[in-house]
Structure 1
Amino acid sequence: MSRIIRPYGDTTGDGMVQLSFTLPVPHDKRAEGAALQLAAKMGLDGAMLVHAKPIGDGYTFFVVYGASTHLVNLDEVKVVEKDYPHLSPKEVNDAIREKLGRKLCVVGACIGTDAHTVGIDAILNIKGVAGEKGLEYYRELRVVNLGAQVAVPDLVNRAVDEEADAVLVSQVVTQKDAHLHNTREMAAAFREALPPGKRPLLVVGGPRFDEGAATELGVDRIFTRGTTPSDVASYLVHRLVTMKESV
């Protein structure tokens, strides 16, 4: 298989992609020309405007379709590989009970002004997501869900009070990189409040995070789109039970 690839649209290797964006201009012919010029500067050859619609006073939403002039070398693609085994709920419970000897405490929240609890609830609540039950379903996990718009100092204090093993934070609001600022603030607050050996595992998740940015943001792990409760539970066991046992 070729390691150099292009997008697929109508035929293999034609490079065709569809791109949507908004420009701060009212909808007219000049706006449509600006959209096509932007597409050309982004590397789309022979871009066609397939949709344009005003979305407010002075703004227009566009969809363009064209051939990308760029190639991707698969050998140069960097991803965060899954470095732990995927466990069933029974395996998670058995590992915690047999090797930790107590329930593992998880504190979860949406911090800052983020009020979107869908993500954190999907992981924590017993109803779960994608056919999987959330962490509340696991007998050997003690889950404390603080909900939305939790101030960072309140999260730290509650994690300390609960003697949390792990803190899970969901961030959906990303305007002006709010998710990045909030995550850095949280990581700094835990570093200030607790010595290294006493800090809980810090895990963040959300659709706009880069999985490879954990070290930069000061957290232990980042989960993105498609994460399920069993993914998180398996990781927690790997870091808090299996790795500690091997030390």
Structure 2
Amino acid sequence: MTKTVVRPYGDTTGDGMVQLSFTLPVPHDKRAEGAALQLAAKMGMEPAMLVHARQMGDGYTFFVVYGRVNHVVDLGKVNVVERDFPLLTAKDVNTVVKRRLRRKLSVVGACIGTDAHTVGIDAILNVKGIAGEKGLEYYRELKVTNLGAQVTVPELVEAARVEKADAVLVSQVVTQRDAHLTNTREMSAAFREAFPAARRPLLVVGGPRFDETMAGELGVDRIFGRGTTPREVASYLVSALVPAGAAG
């Protein structure tokens, strides 16, 4: 039987050792190091060891601590979003769209709000792609419109209308004060107000700090987290938007 309850592994199996990094708003000195160890102890690391400390600008110190925790993880109670669609090749995606949709699938992508980080959206949309996979612009049966960074929600809605978007992809990297959550809720509400339910584009968001289980709460159809590839996104779009979405 597969073990379902596990403890962290550091030096030996099940020793409960973990490594943690954080920043405190104090200059680097002995008192700051003591504060870091006190924080680690309050978080349940016992004993805690300071393995790295470095001044980060004026009045801030970055720490790495190492220590034992008593917590265990029950794998049977872990809630994640599993991939529930087949992973297709670019050739399969093009074939399915051409044969079953019989027109190009329109995709509009952007970074919304004040987020100026286009690395995520470009990795998915641009031909160069990421991790050896070409982006959605490479797929000849997809019509891709990349609006770039700092796009307002009204601009995104209008672009989706003009391009007759089947899907809208939004990347959010900036997460201070949960800006990515606020922006996503604003975006999803705007699309529901602007489009009848039957004509609303598929809403997909992605970024390293999103919880993939929050799609329903945020009002979107799918959330992709860190490490997502263009192939995964293209396969999802086909499964969600094209009737009988499998190569046949």
Where on the TM-score scale, by shorter chain, does this alignment land: which range?
Answer: over 0.9
Quick one: which amino acid aligns to residue 238 of structure 2? V
Structure 1 residue 196 corresponds to structure 2 residue 191: no
Structure 1 residue 205 corresponds to structure 2 residue 231: no
Distance 1:237 1:164 in 2: 14
The residue correspondences of 1:1-247 to structure 2 (distance < 5 A) are 1-242=2-243
Quick one: which amino acid aligns to residue 205 of structure 1? G
Structure 1, residues 138-171: CA drift from partner, whole Å, max 9, x if none?
A: 1110000001111110000010111100000011
TM-score in terms of structure 2 length: 0.96
Number of aligned pairs?
245
Q: Secondary structure at the match of 2:242?
A: helix
Give unpaired runs (5+ residues) of structure 2: none
Distance 1:244 1:206 in 2: 26
TM-score in terms of structure 1 length: 0.96
Q: Secondary structure at the match of 1:45?
A: coil
Give unpaired runs (5+ residues) of structure 1: none
Distance 1:228 1:73 in 2: 29
Structure 1, residues 84-104: CA drift from partner, whole Å, max 9, x if none?
A: 000011111111111111100
Quick one: which amino acid aligns to residue 98 of structure 1? R
Quick one: which amino acid aligns to residue 40 of structure 2? A
Distance 1:190 1:67 in 2: 48
Identical pairs, percent: 74
Q: Secondary structure at the match of 1:2?
A: coil
Distance 1:166 1:194 in 2: 13
Q: Secondary structure at the match of 1:231?
A: helix
Q: Secondary structure at the match of 2:103?
A: coil
Q: CA RMSD in A?
A: 1.3
Quick one: which amino acid aligns to residue 36 of structure 1? L
Quick one: which amino acid aligns to residue 149 of structure 1? Q
- Residues 101 and 243 in structure 2, CA contact (< 8 A), matched pair in contact too: no
Q: Secondary structure at the match of 1:44?
A: coil
